[in-house]
Structure 1
Amino acid sequence: MATAPTAAQAPATGFQPAFKRVAQTNEFDCWLACIAMIVNRPLAEVRQVAVDRFKFPKNGPYTIMDEVLIAKLLANWSFTATVYKESAGIASLPDVCIGMVEYNPETEIGRHVIFIRQRGAAGKPNVEYCIDPAYWVPPEQHVRMDIKGFPISWHIGVTPLRPEGK
């Protein structure tokens, strides 16, 4: 199992995350909450689209979540997603991705957060942080600026879908 995360560094005063945090509502919908953050929709709406359009079970069991369903849901709101890729450190992550943290290689289970790298303008440094949808984490860890002790084991890159011809 992954090591325990270090204390989170609070965002600087005036810092505005790229996405509004959406809290997950149970132990299994972290990935839906991450999609809700990216597409700027309520979690209930994202879940309903998964049920109505992509045959996600309304009341469980919830074993069919995979990168294909994540990609289909994101495409519904004009985003494209990669497959899960093993992470090789923070520098290797795309600017926006759904990351798997607290990953256990024996069970192949982890939970999802959003990683964001906001590029600094005109020589300013990049800002890298995670938005954590877990309802059990304290508020000061909802947006984590110090992510060195919070390893992302796997990730799915997310980008806006480009219109044809562009």
Structure 2
Amino acid sequence: MVTIPTTVTSSPEGFQPAFNRVQQEGDFDDAFTCIATITGKTLADIRKLAIDKFRHPAHGPYWVYAEMITSLLAHYGLVATVYKEAETVADLPDLALAMVDYDPETEIGRHTVFHRAKASHAPKTVIEYMIDTAYWVDTAQQVRTDFTGFQPAWYIGVHAMSKLAASGK
């Protein structure tokens, strides 16, 4: 089961995100790369799992639906919520796939990883950041703490599954 980090390594110069960024290889694998980032897997691992176990098409056209996101995360012991609307970053849970660059006319956006955690060197300090997996974003914007002009419109919350009782009751 994947554990969700509650702290990030902080330093006076900045911080290190709790997750290693997995970069998109194409224009449509943003949800897969976000799942790979959260679970510590490769994009190839996530794509293979989606195809082999969850009947995702091996070749396009395709769209990664909420049900696929939920299934893939559940495979790794994580629970995903339904899409929920967000007006500000404050609306997001501590870990989420946040949809940015959303166009309400086409109802299309792209996913990023949002994480809110305590700083390890200053436990009363909370750091909020997004990991943008898009291959076309500047290096300086791949992990961002400034969300000016980059507000999520929708999100899928992610949290760890509760352990089942040993008796199964």
Q: Is the structural similarity TM-score above 0.5? A: yes
Q: Mapping of 1:1-166 within 5 angstroms?
A: 13=13, 15-63=15-63, 65-120=64-119, 124-165=124-165
Q: Structure 2: how far apart are the matches of 1:145 and 1:88?
A: 17
Question: How many residue pairs are counted as aligned between the two chains?
Answer: 155
| Ranges of 4+ aligned residues in structure 1 off by more than 4 Å | 120-123
Q: Match for 1:60: what amino acid?
A: G
The worse-fitting range, judged by mean Cα deviation, of 85-94 and 31-40 is 85-94
| Higher percent of residues as strand | 2
TM-aligned CA distance change 1:91 to 1:42, over 3 Å: same
Q: State the TM-score, normalizing by the size of structure 2.
A: 0.86
Q: Structure 1: how far apart are the matches of 2:97 and 2:163?
A: 22
Q: Structure 2: how far apart are the matches of 1:123 and 1:60?
A: 45
Q: Match for 2:133: what amino acid?
A: P
The alpha carbon displacement at 1:12 in A equals 6.4
**CA deviation profile, 1:35-88 (whole Å, cap 9, x unmatched):** 00011000001000000000100011113x211110000011111100000012
Q: Match for 1:45: what amino acid?
A: D
The worse-fitting range, judged by mean Cα deviation, of 67-76 and 12-21 is 12-21
Please give the secondary structure, in 2, of the residue aligned with 1:125. Answer: strand
**CA deviation profile, 1:96-136 (whole Å, cap 9, x unmatched):** 00000000000000011000101357663210010000000
The alpha carbon displacement at 1:149 in A equals 2.1
The alpha carbon displacement at 1:162 in A equals 1.7
Q: Structure 2: how far apart are the matches of 1:13 and 1:135?
A: 25
Q: State the TM-score, normalizing by the size of structure 1.
A: 0.88
The alpha carbon displacement at 1:13 in A equals 3.0
Structure 1 unaligned regions, length at least 5: 1-10
Please give the secondary structure, in 1, of the residue aligned with 2:15. Answer: coil
Per the alignment, residue 8 of structure 1 pairs with none
Per the alignment, residue 4 of structure 1 pairs with none
**CA deviation profile, 1:12-36 (whole Å, cap 9, x unmatched):** 6351101100000000000000000
Structure 2 unaligned regions, length at least 5: 1-10
